[in-house]
Amino acid sequence: MMTKIKSLPVWVKLAITAVVMALVGLGTYYLVANHMPPFTAVAKLEINPANLAEGVVLENDGLSKNSALRLKDVQAGRPATGEKLTDMFVAVYGEDALVCPVCDAALPEGADISKKITCEGCGETVDLGTPFKTALSKVTDGATVENGYTIVFTCQDMNAQVAENIVSLYVRSVDAYVINKAPGEPQPNICGEVVRQSNTSPRTLLLALLAATLVGMICYMVFTSTAANVAFRKLMAYTLLVILCILCIFFFYILFINASRVHSEIQSRFSLLPGKFFIQNWNNLMADPMLPIWRGMANSLIISASVALLSTYFSTLTAYAIHAYQFRMRDFAFKFILLVMMVPGQVSALGFVEMMNVWNWDNTFWPLIVPSVAAPAVFFFMKQYMESALPLAIVEAARIDGSSEFGTFNRIVLHIMKPAIAVQAIFTFVGAWNNYFTPALLLKADEVKTLPILIATLRSADFAKFDMGKVYMMICLSILPVIVVYLCLSKFIIAGVAVGGVKE
């Protein structure tokens, strides 16, 4: 059997591989999109213009702000629909859901979940109303308007039936709300049928691509078991590498796409095409007085650049000292540094913060920059790289030529270590740029806050002011310096591999 497979022409192997990858990818996509949570339910409510005040046209922003139809008020919509919160809860989850989450005992008959209830079984206080209102808020966040009069309700939940029930409840509630608020004789609105959409999220596409890639790798191993298929091996290798590259950059693509969409669009559905609100999100972010975005970016840039420079230079210097010099307790020093590397930073965080407060270094950059001089992980990488790329014969030759020790290190060793320095500079820069834990403990003043702190502040904003468009725009803006640093340093990773090719 294997002999027959090996003897197949290259084009036949390529065709078989392409068909198998396509079938597996499409099959995975179908299974994930239709049978795996989260499930998304959608319905439309076409409002009769006669039920709105003259000249009123619904807009996306109007659904959550002051307008003729304030959808945020409908969420609690008992006055409009006459339903109690408990009745709405039962309509979504069923009668069996009215149980204590601690002991599963049935709640007292006639219980009102809008208030906290004491369970008769375990005595615990039960609050079902708050999480239920949070689930309902998913619909108000995902509601959008079409043609000025049609509201599109969307809900995503881990349970398909719950998502459909919530959307159905909202359509009915808003329909009753609009009719009750009609300025004249109420006219019937058109309630659309609740439908469940396919789960076309980024996760679905990624899983399909990953499954196709794995099958492609299996075909590659089966069809390239002989050395005669050079052309096939190259083509398959490049194809798989392209797919893996797509998987890596896919998240960045989605980030830039969502930065061009408004909050309601992001909440309601996934899209591979850019939106029309990039400039609006940018203006909203720049106009927010609570987010000094440029000051935060400058602070992050100063800290990250300083950390990358000091960490790589002094770690390389330490690694050079242990690699090139013979002195007593050299092995102990090496092992001690590795031991320090295994201690988590959170262990010493409390004492570190107290010490910085005593030194009056809180709300300054010094606690974030100075400790980077001692970077055990960077030192270990440099030490291992030197053992394979830095022959001591070069150092001895420099000494014979009269070079000073620091001159040898700065003019020769650093040049040979460019690839390792570039790699660690990227890692340390990104690590310092994304660092949230330590800056959040030490930086309280607005003028010294870094970008991760500002992003966390924006994400924890008041529910009514929370804007996913601004969040994605800020994250998009924050990763641009990281991409620039990588593009500037990545060429040294490859180009510097051949530097210092002298072997002992």
Q: What is the mean pLDDT of residues 462-474?
A: 73
The answer to whether the CB of 278 falls within 8 A of the CB of 262 is: no
Tens digits of residue pLDDT in 192-205: 999 988 877 777 88
CA distance linking residue 472 with residue 255, whole number of Å: 6
Confidence of residue 461 (pLDDT cuts 50, 70, 90): low
* Cβ neighbours for 132, distance < 8 A, ≥ 6 positions apart: 85, 88, 89, 92, 113
Cα angle: 191, vertex 194, 199; to 5 degrees: 145
Most confident listed range (23-27, 136-140, 177-181) = 23-27
The answer to whether the CB of 312 falls within 8 A of the CB of 421 is: yes
CA distance linking residue 67 with residue 148, whole number of Å: 13
Residue ranges of E strands in 158-201: 190-191, 195-197
Residue 499 scores a pLDDT above 70: no
Cα angle: 40, vertex 42, 44; to 5 degrees: 170
Cα angle: 387, vertex 391, 394; to 5 degrees: 150
Residue 83 scores a pLDDT above 70: no
pLDDT attached to residue 82: 45
* Cβ neighbours for 233, distance < 8 A, ≥ 6 positions apart: 220, 224
DSSP string, 387-399: HHH--HHHHHHHH
**Residue 352: left (phi > 0), alpha (psi -120 to 50), or beta?**
alpha
Q: What is the mean pLDDT of residues 53-68?
A: 62
**Residue 37: left (phi > 0), alpha (psi -120 to 50), or beta?**
beta
Strand 39-46 to 125-126 pairing: unpaired
Q: Does this model's pTM top 0.85?
A: no
* Cβ neighbours for 484, distance < 8 A, ≥ 6 positions apart: none
Helix (H) or strand (E) run with residue 382 in it: helix 376-389
Confidence of residue 104 (pLDDT cuts 50, 70, 90): confident
CA distance linking residue 167 with residue 92, whole number of Å: 9
pLDDT attached to residue 433: 92
**344: preceding bond cis by omega (within 30 degrees):** no
| Burial label, 350 (beta-carbon count in 10 A; 0-12, 13-18, 19+) | exposed
Cα→Cα distances 250→270, 272, 427, 502, Å: 13, 10, 21, 41
The answer to whether the CB of 117 falls within 8 A of the CB of 108 is: yes
Per the structure block, which two tokens stand in for 393? 């014969």
Which residue has 């890639």 as its token pair? Answer: 213
Which residue has 């053992």 as its token pair? Answer: 387
DSSP 3-state of 44? strand
Which amino acid is located at 274 in the chain? P
Question: Between 144 and 257, whose confidence is greater?
Answer: 257
226-261 burial: b if 16+ Cβ within 10 Å, else e: eeebeebbebbeebbeebeeeeeeeeeebeebbbbb
Lowest mean pLDDT among 27-36, 68-77, 222-231: 68-77
The answer to whether the CB of 149 falls within 8 A of the CB of 49 is: yes
| Burial label, 301 (beta-carbon count in 10 A; 0-12, 13-18, 19+) | middle
pLDDT attached to residue 46: 92
465-500 burial: b if 16+ Cβ within 10 Å, else e: eebbbbbbbbbbbbbebbeebeeebeebbeebeeeb
Per the structure block, which two tokens stand in for 469? 């468009």
How many CB atoms are located within 10 Å of the residue 298 CB? Answer: 13
| Cα radius of gyration (the chain) | 31
Tens digits of residue pLDDT in 276-333: 888 888 888 888 878 888 898 999 999 999 999 999 999 999 999 998 888 888 889 8
Closest CA to 76 of 18, 137, 126: 137
Residue 246 scores a pLDDT above 60: yes
